[in-house]
């Protein structure tokens, strides 16, 4: 295949294959070829779609894979929708546009280049669009949107159509069962409309995991009361449907589905149980997700009687006005030869106001703000990449809903505006500088129409630091390239990311292609956006942000910045960058996503609180006792298996290598508690002596014995300590409530779960020892070896202590054992070990957990191990995909949310560059596209504190210039601020305490503070900074403690 011929394959009828050929990008012909075999439906590529699968699930994606989607209009908005839909993985996407590329399109059309001007938008876009996902055929069309053409698709998206065309297509599509989505992006305004027909079936209205809870009691009554265990809120809502299982006594409820009424956080009711047996114990209530049928009005009816999804409750009156303005805009274009109102054109604005008046002359008259309509007219030709991201991300999610039935669709109009991005003193009626908003033949004309050329020049000169080049980082860099950030004199975008590209990234990090796998993210992303806008001054780094790189991201680096954009995936790095931005007083744009949920936060010096000012509650941890002996849900067994993997295949080989290669290892080990020493030495002995394999077959034998220890012997010991019929001191059954009575497993080589454990464990053991043979070992070979394994007899022992709860576990952990016994045992273990010198070159190979490699047996082992333990405890097993998500702590992610959130962040950058100072001009956002739900609020103002009569916030500090003595420093604060310094520290170094020994105090009073810092820290001050940060404690004139800012001390 060469540059002149591009082939797109898709199946249309059983037994035939269609090939659509573009020859020289001008001729289009369909060739029908007989297929030699039946085309089978391909399985979902979990390696590619893994993060998205945790959002949508397999069923929804299978439905999507049968949907052909048409997206009409390939300017920025249509492109953004198409990009997200192609990445998501539908059956096929056809992009449609009869128009040619214009220079102004480059404000948001990142798949077109300057040399594409004059070529058809769809044909130019198709080639680059097709690279996004090899599973989704992408075709381009320039033909009229006839009924025959539209009838090929299950979902149609219109972004550039006239209102008359929208009405005609919606009328036909509705009759043909085709879902229709209409979207627009006009400057700082955008909208979406859905029509999914009279009876659209939603399979999952919110995407949340079905709730389950353990039952403590069920009353026998006409209106029963179900009580859940004290430590677990049930999380149900009125009207939820639940089913019951494992209830003892009142067994009639098992398998029933009932609609419940919530009585409290731990109680609910589901009706009459008076005819049932008496509840004795146990039971689980599980929520059963119910489908919902949703009715949509046709576009003609919806225009007259609209339903709005409110995106910002502070703008409750705007959707109705924008609804009229959008219709008036179409009428304006119809009466003016297809053109839209010109930027800042007073006559055109008045004409649009008059048209709104015509449409608003009815019984349900809307209060119209003339200035709002003028803004709409002024921006009608505006085209902003961030708005395309916001509307395109939301609209693309609606396409996925239309194709899959997953999540609740927008009903039916969504209107959105971001007028706060304009200058706070902008006058809508001002005639000044109108020329500055007119087209200049520039790629930024769409943005200039909204903000003017002077603002564009400022944007081009912005110096921004983007931390992270993952999903959000890719979107931010793309938006910055389109906006022109860092594309002019003095402007620059620096991006850093130390990671390389993996296959699973390709589903949402759209700047990367399959041939970029294993390449550096930052370099690849920088090259991609440079191709989108060659004027962009972008520099790629591969550094982790943190104390270790402060010599790179130093005072000079931050001094040159205008702001920081976080695109990080962990809280620790976010908080570090937040501290740096507070210290250097730089604006910070923060955002994050979790599946269909997303949030944004803007941090402004001297105005808002910082990112670290508020924190999420800590994640719930699994109690140790539950994990070790009393699991009751699959997450417990998966974590147990993950810990087993880490301990056996990672930590034990590392301990062996430390023993063999680190001369100080035994000295370090001697400092540990005796129990820890014994555990470590036993592991080393087992690895080097007792269970050291020499062949792969010996690894199979080891794995078989390990199965017996983990899933039979340990369970038998547990039941020996706590028999199935044991009762507590209060007479209640021990095995009740959250404690599930286990049963030992008997190994069966014909059982796939048992064999799966042995295969994975044997291969991991062989990897640790560098042994070959696993690749060639057949199932028959495994069975042959297993038949000859002599499994040691096991008899439960008396005197083995097993904690029944966490309190007992803590008591046992703190118990003091016999020192003589421990010493003898440690000596015996040491005597059994080979001398390190006898194995000088010998090393094991620890496993480094990698969840996305399907060939390394890591997830295979954890899944088999977890499910075997789940079988012990009669817990429903998890498939490999679910296990991977929990064990790998995978964050669900989808391109639609990422695009929307990144767009919202860039809207905040517009405000920062404008110089807007009012806190009410800025917006922190939260969205959940599954519901759908949008919420915006003003950022929280920086809390104000006070010392004496001086107010201060986290953004304030004491600036001290010049390297002075401690005495001079103390005198400075006493004389200037009337504060007595009682303590002075720098990092972890305590430089001064008012009660320190007199001799030391006298010595330090005469020393320069830089010298004191070096003396206490025992290391020279770094050469990359001229400043030290001091924390001080002070008393006021009355001797009372005062909370004061930190000190920025310039010593060079």
What amino acid positions are annotated as catalytic residues?
625
Cβ-contact 785, 696 below 8 angstroms? no
**DSSP sequence for 278-305:** PP-B--EEEE----EEE----HHHHHHS
3-state secondary structure of 1030: strand
Q: How far apart are CA 73 and CA 260, in angstroms?
A: 47
Q: How far apart are CA 37 and CA 45, in angstroms?
A: 22
Q: What are the b/e assignments for 207-231, b being 16+ CB within 10 Å?
A: beeebbbbbbbbbeeeebebbbbee
CB atoms within 10 A of CB 202: 19
3-state secondary structure of 813: helix
Helix (H) or strand (E) holding 193: strand 189-195
SS (HEC) of 177-192:
CCEEEEEEEECCEEEE
Q: Which residues partner with 1042 through β-bridges?
A: 1034
Query: Per the structure block, which two tokens stand in for 621?
Result: 């941890």
Helix (H) or strand (E) holding 759: helix 752-769
Burial class (CB in 10 A: 0-12, 13-18, 19+), 617: exposed
CA nearest to 20, candidates 122, 73, 94: 94
**Cα 801 off chain centre by:** 42
Phi and psi dihedrals of 569, rounded to 5? Answer: -120, 15
Number of helices (H), then strands (E), in the chain: 33, 36
Burial class (CB in 10 A: 0-12, 13-18, 19+), 570: exposed
Phi and psi dihedrals of 186, rounded to 5? Answer: -130, 100
Cβ-contact 421, 190 below 8 angstroms? no
Residue in the block written with tokens 């890719």: 474
Query: Per the structure block, which two tokens stand in for 761?
Result: 């464990």
> To 10 degrees, what angle do helices 998-1005 and 966-977 make?
80
- Alpha-carbon torsion (241, 246, 249, 252), positive or negative: positive
Q: How far apart are CA 135 and CA 259, in angstroms?
A: 42
Phi and psi dihedrals of 265, rounded to 5? Answer: -65, -20
Q: How far apart are CA 618 and CA 391, in angstroms?
A: 33
Residues 6+ apart with CB under 8 A from 349: 341, 373, 374, 377, 378
Q: How many CA atoms lie within 13 A of 748 on its CB side?
A: 8
**DSSP sequence for 487-550:** -STT-EEEEE--PBP-GGGGGT-TT--GGGTTSBHHHHHHHHHHHH-TT--EEEE----SGGGT
Q: How far apart are CA 123 and CA 138, in angstroms?
A: 10
Q: In degrees to the nearest 10, what's the CA dihedral of 532, 536, 541, 545? A: -110
User: Distances from the Cα of 768 to the Cαs of 450, 651, 733, 765, 833, in angstroms?
Assistant: 62, 11, 44, 5, 19
Q: How far apart are CA 88 and CA 96, in angstroms?
A: 19
CA nearest to 91, candidates 39, 50, 168, 23: 39
């Amino acid at each position: 295949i060469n540059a002149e011929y591009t082939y797109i394959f898709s199946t249309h009828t059983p037994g035939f294959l269609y090939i659509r050929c573009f020859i020289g990008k001008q001729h289009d012909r369909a060739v029908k070829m007989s297929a030699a075999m039946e085309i089978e439906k391909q399985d979902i590529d979990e390696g590619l779609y893994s993060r998205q699968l945790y959002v949508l699930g397999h069923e929804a994606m299978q439905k999507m894979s049968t949907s052909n989607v048409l997206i009409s209009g390939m300017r920025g908005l249509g492109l953004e929708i198409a990009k997200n839909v192609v990445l998501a993985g539908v059956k096929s996407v056809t992009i449609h546009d009869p128009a040619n590329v214009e220079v102004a399109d480059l404000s948001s059309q990142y798949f077109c280049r300057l040399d594409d001007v004059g070529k058809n938008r769809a044909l130019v876009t198709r080639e680059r669009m097709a690279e996004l996902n090899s599973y989704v055929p992408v075709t381009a069309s320039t033909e009229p949107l006839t009924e025959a053409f539209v009838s090929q698709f299950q979902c149609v998206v219109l972004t550039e159509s006239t209102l008359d065309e929208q009405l005609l297509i919606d009328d036909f599509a509705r009759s043909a069962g085709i879902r229709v989505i209409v979207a627009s992006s006009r400057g700082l305004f955008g909208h979406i409309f859905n029509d999914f027909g009279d009876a659209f079936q939603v399979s999952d209205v919110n995407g949340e995991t079905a709730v389950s809870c353990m039952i403590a009691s069920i009353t026998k009554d006409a209106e029963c009361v179900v009580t859940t265990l004290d430590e677990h809120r049930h999380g149900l809502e009125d009207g939820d449907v639940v089913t019951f299982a494992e209830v003892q006594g009142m067994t009639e409820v098992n398998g029933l589905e009932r609609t419940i009424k919530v009585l409290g956080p731990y109680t609910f009711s589901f009706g009459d149980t008076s005819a049932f047996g008496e509840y004795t114990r146990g039971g689980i209530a599980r929520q059963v997700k119910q489908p919902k049928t949703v009715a949509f009005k046709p576009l003609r009816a919806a225009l007259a009687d609209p339903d709005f999804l409110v995106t910002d409750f502070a703008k409750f009156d705007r959707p109705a006005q924008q609804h009229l303005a959008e219709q008036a805009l179409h009428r304006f274009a119809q009466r003016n030869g297809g053109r839209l109102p010109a930027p800042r054109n007073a006559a055109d604005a008045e004409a649009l106001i008059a048209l709104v008046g015509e449409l608003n002359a009815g019984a349900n008259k809307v209060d119209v703000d003339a200035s709002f309509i003028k803004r709409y007219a002024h921006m009608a030709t505006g085209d902003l990449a961030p708005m395309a991201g916001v509307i395109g991300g939301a609209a693309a999610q609606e396409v996925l809903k239309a194709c899959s039935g997953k999540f609740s669709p927008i009903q039916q109009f969504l209107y959105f505006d971001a007028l706060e991005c304009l200058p706070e003193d902008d006058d809508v009626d001002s005639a000044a500088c109108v020329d500055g908003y007119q087209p200049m033949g520039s790629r930024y004309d769409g943005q200039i129409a909204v903000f003017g050329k002077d603002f564009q020049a400022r944007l081009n000169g912005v110096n921004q630091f983007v931390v992270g080049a993952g999903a959000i980082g890719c979107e931010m860099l793309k938006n910055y390239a389109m906006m022109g950030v860092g594309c002019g004199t003095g402007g620059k975008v620096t991006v850093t990311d130390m990671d390389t590209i993996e296959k699973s990234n390709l589903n949402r990090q759209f700047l990367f292609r399959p041939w970029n796998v294993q390449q550096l993210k930052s370099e690849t992303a920088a090259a991609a956006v440079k191709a989108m806008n060659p004027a962009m001054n972008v520099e790629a780094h591969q550094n982790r942000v943190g104390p270790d790189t402060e010599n790179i991201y130093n005072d000079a680096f931050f001094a040159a910045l205008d702001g920081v954009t976080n695109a990080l995936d962990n809280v620790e790095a976010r908080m570090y960058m937040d501290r740096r931005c507070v210290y250097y007083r730089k604006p910070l744009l923060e955002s994050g996503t979790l599946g269909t949920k997303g949030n944004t936060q803007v941090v402004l010096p001297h105005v808002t609180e910082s990112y670290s000012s508020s924190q999420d509650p800590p994640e719930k941890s699994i109690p140790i006792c539950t994990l070790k002996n009393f699991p009751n849900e699959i997450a417990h067994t998966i974590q147990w298996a993950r810990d087993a993997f880490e301990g056996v295949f990672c930590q034990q080989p590392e301990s062996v290598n430390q023993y063999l290669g680190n001369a100080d290892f035994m000295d370090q080990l001697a400092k540990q508690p005796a129990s820890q020493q014994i555990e470590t030495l036993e592991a080393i002995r087992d690895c080097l002596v007792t269970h050291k394999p020499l062949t792969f077959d010996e690894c199979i034998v080891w794995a078989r014995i390990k199965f017996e220890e983990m899933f039979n012997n340990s369970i038998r010991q547990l039941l020996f300590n706590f028999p199935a019929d044991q009762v507590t001191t209060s007479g209640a059954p021990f095995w009740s409530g959250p404690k599930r009575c286990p049963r030992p497993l008997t190994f069966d080589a014909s059982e796939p779960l048992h064999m799966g454990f042995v295969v994975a464990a044997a291969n991991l053991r062989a990897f640790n020892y560098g042994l070959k043979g696993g690749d060639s070992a057949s199932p028959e070979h495994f069975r042959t070896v297993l038949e000859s394994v002599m499994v040691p007899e096991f008899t439960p022992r008396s005197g083995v202590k097993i904690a029944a709860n966490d309190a007992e576990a803590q008591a046992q952990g703190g118990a003091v054992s016999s020192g003589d016994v421990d010493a003898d045992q440690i000596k015996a273990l040491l005597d059994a070990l080979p001398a390190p010198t006898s194995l000088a070159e010998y090393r094991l190979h620890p496993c480094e957990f990698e969840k996305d490699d399907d060939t390394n047996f890591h997830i295979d082992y954890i899944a088999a191990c977890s499910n075997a333990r789940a079988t012990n405890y009669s817990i429903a097993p998890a498939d490999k995909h679910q296990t991977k998500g929990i064990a790998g702590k995978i964050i669900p992610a989808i391109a639609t949310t990422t695009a929307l959130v990144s767009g919202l962040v860039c809207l905040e950058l517009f405000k920062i560059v404008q110089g807007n100072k009012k806190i009410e001009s800025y917006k922190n956002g939260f969205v959940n596209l599954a519901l759908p739900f949008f919420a915006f609020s003003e950022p929280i103002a920086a809390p104000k504190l006070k010392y004496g009569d001086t107010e201060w916030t986290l953004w304030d500090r004491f600036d001290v210039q010049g390297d002075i003595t401690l005495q001079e420093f103390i005198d400075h604060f006493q004389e200037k601020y009337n504060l007595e310094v009682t303590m002075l520290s720098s990092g972890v170094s305590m430089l001064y305490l008012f009660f320190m020994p007199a001799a030391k105090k006298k010595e330090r009073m005469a020393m320069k503070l830089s010298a004191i810092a070096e003396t206490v820290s025992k290391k020279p001050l770094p050469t990359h900074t001229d400043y030290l940060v001091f924390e001080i404690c002070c008393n006021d004139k009355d001797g009372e403690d005062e909370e004061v800012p930190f000190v920025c001390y310039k010593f060079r």
